[in-house]
Amino acid sequence: MTDWTEKYRPSSLSELRGNDKARDALREWAETWNDHHKAVVLHGPPGVGKTSAAHALAADKSWPTIELNASDSRTKDVIERVAGEAAKSGTLTAGGGGRRLLIMDEADNIHGNADRGGSRAITSLVKEANQPMILIANDFYEMSNGLRNACEDIEFRGVSKRSILPVLRDLCRKEDIEFDSEALEQIAETNSGDLRGAIKDLQALAEGKERLTPDDVVTSERDTTEGVFDYLDTVIKKAGPQEALEASYDVDETPDDLINWIEDNMPKDYHGEELVVAYDFLANADRWLGRVRETQNYSFWRYAGDNMTAGVAAARQEDKGGWTRYGPPSYWSKLGRSRGTRDKRDYIARQIAEANGVSMATARRKIMPQLAVMTHHCNNRELTVAMAARYELDEEHVSFVTGSGKNTNKVASIVEDAEELREAESVAASQGAFEGTPEESDESTATNEASDESDQSEGDDADKLDLTEAETEESVDNESEDDEQAGLSDFM
């Protein structure tokens, strides 16, 4: 069966679902490429349409594409030979005015000593390219500073459930599959943010069925979860080394994830000497996984698997009966919380950097701490409104800076007032483009004059937000960028 994500990949940017702002920014980048000649990085979580957007743009512009996976072809000679020739030379007979588009996927997966030559080669390439280049990355900040600074960047965000649902309905109609709306809503909810994952789940669930029901979705979720828990019961309580190893082949988890499942749940049944021996095997497995990450040699996975499955089973010294409440690795929830915190912090810093013309580092280390003090718990309401308006912050971002609860009426009203302030400033900046008839203008004169004093007050607060690197140089010391605690501790 043909993969639906490929079969129904958007053939034009206009068909892209979700991320309208990113789509428009990508189109503008392409239309103005002759003016700036800069590469662009499309970054955001997996499954949100970054690669599809790159190919859709190429189709819209009639640009032939050349693709390179940076993580597979990351050495300096490969990049210079394959990508360099494509990016530095044009083809007059090609479509799109002689342009060709180089798409480099996994641009954030170049790290470690073995890859430094590749990273430098890509950075040099984007600076010298005579052809449009799109780099695709999940984590923008995993890329080197030099590479980030050499490119424009466009952020793709998770696709909302509201945007995923119409896609799923459309696919069902194209494939002649009847469906209950609740079933599609469950798929969209489960994959909220990941459009590709939702499409793959829909295809897997719909295979061989004429109608998709909510029970089909619930059964699928239950089977996947029980598979992991059943295996934990096998490796920790029942199986010998050989059986534990062979059973792991049927578990739909990578070794990196499986070791976390076993490590978190093993101490619930193992004690004393058997726990010490089992941890030794897990430590060996972790060393092999580290070698995989460093060398990208995935054949080492089998040694990690031997240790974390057969080794853990061999460490058991007595029968383990009864029922144990196993659960997902706590590491995942901790990672999710810290990642969400970093995402909010980085979004705010990016907005500040763009508005004030400073670097991300300056925004995070110097300007954000000052804003946090100035707007603490929204005590200075006018200043907080001005901040939210200037940097286009929503409720979760205002809460993050001020330390106030995200769902409070106070924060919600500040965001509403900020939106009104932005609209008023847009009208003022239009220099009369949106003014009505002369009669309407006469009627509004008194109102405008009456609001001048208020506008001046708001302007004074806005001026306080116009912070630059020079103004903040002496006020805040540099702190570590690695602090991952929630809230203000991320940047204070």
What pLDDT does residue 354 have? 87
Q: Residue 209: CB partners within 8 Å, gap ≥ 6?
A: 177, 216
Q: Reduce the DSSP state of residue 65 to 3 states and report it.
A: strand
Helix, strand, coil shares of the chain as percentages rounded to 5?
65, 5, 30
Q: How far apart (Å, rounded) are the C-alpha atoms in residues 464 and 484? A: 28
Q: Is 9:52 a contact under the CB 8 Å cutoff? A: yes
Strand pairing of 133-137 and 211-212? unpaired
Q: Per-residue pLDDT tens, the chain, 492 aa: give them.
A: 578 988 899 999 999 988 899 999 999 999 999 999 899 999 988 889 999 999 999 999 999 988 876 554 444 555 555 555 555 555 433 444 578 898 988 787 764 334 445 667 778 878 877 889 999 998 888 788 888 889 999 999 888 888 899 999 999 999 999 999 999 998 988 887 889 888 988 988 888 888 998 888 864 554 444 467 888 989 999 899 999 998 888 787 778 889 989 999 999 999 999 999 999 999 999 999 989 888 878 788 889 999 999 999 999 998 887 888 887 777 665 555 566 677 788 889 889 988 898 888 788 888 998 898 899 888 899 999 999 999 999 888 998 898 887 667 888 899 999 988 888 887 776 555 444 444 444 444 444 544 444 444 444 554 556 554 444 444 444 433 333 334 443 333
What pLDDT does residue 489 have? 39
Q: How far apart (Å, rounded) are the C-alpha atoms in residues 380 and 377? A: 8
Residue 68: enclosing H or E segment and its boundaries? strand 65-69
Residue 211: enclosing H or E segment and its boundaries? strand 211-212
Q: How far apart (Å, rounded) are the C-alpha atoms in residues 245 and 285? A: 13
Q: For 403, how many CA atoms within 13 A lie in the half-sphere containing its CB?
A: 16
Q: Long-range contacts of range 301-309, CB-CB < 8 Å, 24 or more positions apart?
A: 301/255, 304/255, 304/259, 305/245, 305/248, 305/255, 305/258, 306/245, 307/281, 307/282, 308/255, 308/258, 308/259, 308/262, 308/281, 308/282, 309/235, 309/241, 309/244, 309/245, 309/247, 309/248, 309/262
Tell me how many helices (H) and strands (E) the chain has.
26, 7
Q: Is 278:312 a contact under the CB 8 Å cutoff? A: yes
What pLDDT does residue 73 have? 47
What pLDDT does residue 78 have? 53
**Partners of residue 105 on adjacent β-strands:** 69
What pLDDT does residue 166 have? 92
Q: Reduce the DSSP state of residue 208 to 3 states and report it.
A: coil
Q: How far apart (Å, rounded) are the C-alpha atoms in residues 202 and 183? A: 9
Measured in whole angstroms, how far is the alpha carbon of residue 181 from the centre of its chain? 28
Q: Residue 413: CB partners within 8 Å, gap ≥ 6?
A: none
For tokens 């920790």, name the residue.
236
What pLDDT does residue 488 have? 41
Q: For 312, how many CA atoms within 13 A lie in the half-sphere containing its CB?
A: 32
Q: How far apart (Å, rounded) are the C-alpha atoms in residues 401 and 379? A: 12
Q: Is 83:68 a contact under the CB 8 Å cutoff? A: yes
Using the 8-state DSSP alphabet, how is residue 40 labeled? E
The residue among 371, 413, 373, 409 whose CA lies nearest residue 390 is 371
Residue 134: enclosing H or E segment and its boundaries? strand 133-137
Q: Is 222:250 a contact under the CB 8 Å cutoff? A: no
Task: Round to the nearest angstrom and report the end-to-end CA distance of the chain.
Answer: 53
The residue among 464, 488, 481 whose CA lies nearest residue 369 is 488
Angle between helices 381-391 and 438-464 in degrees, nearest 10: 100
